[in-house]
């Protein structure tokens, strides 16, 4: 099991002298010299109370007074950027932290390739840039809202702490984007920042912008799948935005990626520990058939086919977050130099402008799945989605290795890209995990084998009993190999009373 997910490396030309100390004396900790810009400071200070009200209303329910063993960013130097200690979540020091400026950085892609990066918003791209920042920002509070009830059914204090860590850092990511909106987009930016506190995940009248962020996260398996699969969309999108020619956005996203790695780790190990508990219980009971559902469930663990169905749901919903595979919005953002491909600056083999290049995209044409060469510029989303699918495989392979080691014949797989899609090329088509186009009747008859069904959800619900004493772990999840920050696994990570 990986200890942390792979990070985007800091560009080599970062000069370590340029790591700016984070000031924690200010009400809003920052490394952007906020105190020297009174107007900006006032605008952020006036947003702050609304943020705290939102956190009280929509943040982790029932644990606002608990002391939580949290890490707080104290700098952006990769060697020592965080400190650990007990904090009540509403008192968490949400700060504004940008990765250091890279000397001489140039725009890596698009029409302006090779020109110096922008330190101010390029006027002609203002609306497009603002939209990207608002969409990114909107996902952060959305995920906190989706996860707000999970503390109550945490399978251990260790897991509860990890949930809250993820939540406060998503809150900080909102701060990171609001800083950009308020500093660089004037009145519009202030209005957008306010609207970010008003939309609500799943609310009919004023929902969050992207589909997956309006889904429920009703149980801990959903949380682990979300942090493995959906936070990984966060990794890919942040990495693409880290390539932006608008340097403040690039620097914000680079630091956000540092925090994101832990969220992915929570997802991978959460699913991994669930698998470990299942395999151990099956072996102890002498059950070899992973589809012997009734007997496996009677042991108080999650059968592997159910986990696959959960994964299928989260993978498909998350793939929708990449937008349409063929998109003129994405082409515009790339050509403008606002959003690149994954690891854009390091990619070799093309001119980073893609005027004549093509990319293979799978589509449904006349009732058949076909591959077509489409202009690479218009296939930017498709390529990022392909990179994402490849990136998902590492953890899946590690889960499979653990199952194999336990001697159980079962393998997790990724469903076909078109499975259960609502956005893009495959929307409106019924496609099986194996990649067959189906009629509506076959889909209706088979979908309960591929997506969590009513029995699955009822069973998961029955497992979601709190384990809130230090060192206790629910039956369905193995304890972690190591605690947080070298603390033991039975450490009191959250002091509830």
Task: Give the residue among 275, 117, 92 at the shortest CA–CA distance from 169.
Answer: 92
Toward ligand BYC, which CB reaches closer, 272 or 323? 323
- Sheet containing strand 82-88, strands side by side: 82-88, 67-73, 494-495
CA distance 493 to 495: 7
- What binding mask, one character per residue, do residues 366-385 give for ligand BYC by CB under 6 A, x or -? ---------------x----
- Termini Cα distance of the chain: 34
Of 31, 72, 139, 222, the one binding ligand BYC (CB under 6 A) is 139
Task: Give the residue among 104, 82, 84, 95 at the shortest CA–CA distance from 18.
Answer: 104
Segment 334-353, which members bind ligand BYC (CB under 6 A)? 339
Of 2, 329, 358, 400, the one binding ligand BYC (CB under 6 A) is 329
Cβ 240 to ligand BYC shortest distance, Å: 7
The structure tokens listed for 130 are 């603002």
3-state SS, residue 101: coil
Phi and psi dihedrals of 473, rounded to 5? -130, 140
Cβ 132 to ligand BYC shortest distance, Å: 5
Phi and psi dihedrals of 82, rounded to 5? -130, 150
Binding of ligand BYC by 136 (CB under 6 A): yes
Q: Which stretch binds ligand BYC (CB under 6 A): 188-196, 232-240, 292-300, 348-356?
A: 232-240
Q: Which helix (H) or strand (E) holds 69?
A: strand 67-73
Contact (CB, 8 A) for 307 and 412: yes
- What binding mask, one character per residue, do residues 55-94 give for ligand BYC by CB under 6 A, x or -? ----------------------------------------
CA distance 71 to 73: 7
CA distance 285 to 272: 20
Toward ligand BYC, which CB reaches closer, 276 or 325? 325
452: which strand partners? none
Binding of ligand BYC by 415 (CB under 6 A): no
Binding of ligand BYC by 143 (CB under 6 A): yes
C-alpha gyration radius of the chain: 23
Binding of ligand BYC by 252 (CB under 6 A): no
Q: Which stretch binds ligand BYC (CB under 6 A): 65-73, 80-88, 129-137, 429-437?
A: 129-137
Binding of ligand BYC by 167 (CB under 6 A): no
Alpha helix stretches (DSSP H) within 104-185:
126-146, 157-184
Toward ligand BYC, which CB reaches closer, 231 or 344? 231
Toward ligand BYC, which CB reaches closer, 215 or 276? 215
Residues that bind ligand BYC (CB under 6 A): 131-132, 135-136, 139-140, 143, 170, 210-211, 230-231, 233-234, 237, 320-324, 327, 329-330, 339, 381, 423
């Amino acid at each position: 099991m990986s200890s942390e997910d792979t990070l985007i490396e800091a560009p080599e030309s970062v000069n370590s002298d340029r790591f700016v100390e984070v000031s924690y004396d200010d009400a809003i900790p920052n490394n952007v010299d906020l105190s020297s810009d009174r107007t900006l400071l006032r605008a952020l200070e006036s947003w702050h109370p609304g943020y705290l009200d939102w956190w009280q209303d929509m943040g982790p329910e029932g644990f606002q007074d608990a002391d939580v063993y949290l890490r707080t960013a104290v700098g952006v130097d990769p060697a020592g950027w965080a400190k650990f200690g007990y904090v009540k979540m509403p008192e968490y020091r949400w700060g504004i932290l940008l990765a250091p400026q890279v000397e001489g950085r140039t725009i890596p892609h698009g029409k302006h390739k090779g020109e110096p990066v922008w330190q101010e918003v390029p006027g002609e791209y203002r609306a497009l840039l603002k939209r990207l920042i608002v969409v990114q920002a909107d996902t952060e509070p959305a995920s906190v809202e989706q996860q707000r009830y999970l503390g109550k059914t945490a399978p251990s204090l260790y897991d509860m702490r990890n949930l809250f860590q993820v939540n406060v850092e998503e809150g900080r990511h909102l701060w990171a984007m609001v800083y950009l909106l308020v500093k660089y987009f004037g009145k519009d930016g202030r209005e957008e920042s306010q609207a970010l506190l008003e939309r609500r995940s799943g609310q009919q009248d004023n929902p969050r912008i992207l589909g997956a962020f309006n889904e429920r996260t009703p149980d801990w398996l959903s949380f682990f799948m979300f942090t493995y699969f959906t936070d990984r969309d966060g990794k890919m999108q942040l990495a693409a935005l880290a390539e932006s020619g608008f340097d403040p956005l690039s620097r914000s996203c680079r630091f956000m990626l540092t925090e994101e790695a832990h969220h992915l780790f929570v997802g991978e190990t959460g699913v991994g520990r669930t698998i470990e508990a299942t395999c151990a219980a099956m072996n102890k009971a002498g059950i070899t058939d992973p589809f012997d559902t009734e007997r496996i469930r009677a042991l108080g663990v999650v059968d592997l086919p159910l986990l696959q169905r959960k994964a299928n749901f989260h993978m498909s919903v998350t793939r929708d977050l990449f937008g349409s595979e063929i998109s003129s919005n994405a082409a515009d953002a790339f050509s403008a130099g606002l959003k690149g491909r994954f690891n854009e600056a390091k990619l070799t083999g093309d001119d980073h402008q893609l005027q004549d290049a093509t990319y293979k995209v799978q589509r449904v044409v006349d009732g058949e799945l076909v591959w077509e060469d489409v202009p690479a510029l218009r296939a930017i989303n498709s390529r990022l989605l392909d990179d994402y699918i490849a990136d998902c495989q590492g953890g899946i392979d590690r889960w499979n290795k653990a199952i194999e080691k336990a001697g159980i014949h079962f393998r997790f797989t990724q469903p076909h890209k078109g499975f259960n899609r609502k956005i893009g090329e495959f929307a409106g088509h019924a496609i099986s995990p194996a990649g067959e186009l189906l009629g509506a009747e076959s889909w209706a008859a088979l979908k309960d084998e591929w997506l969590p069904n009513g029995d699955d959800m009822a069973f998961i619900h029955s497992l979601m009993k709190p384990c809130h004493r230090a060192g206790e772990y629910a039956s369905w999840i193995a304890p972690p190999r190591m605690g947080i920050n070298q603390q033991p696994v039975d450490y009191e990570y959250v002091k509830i009373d």
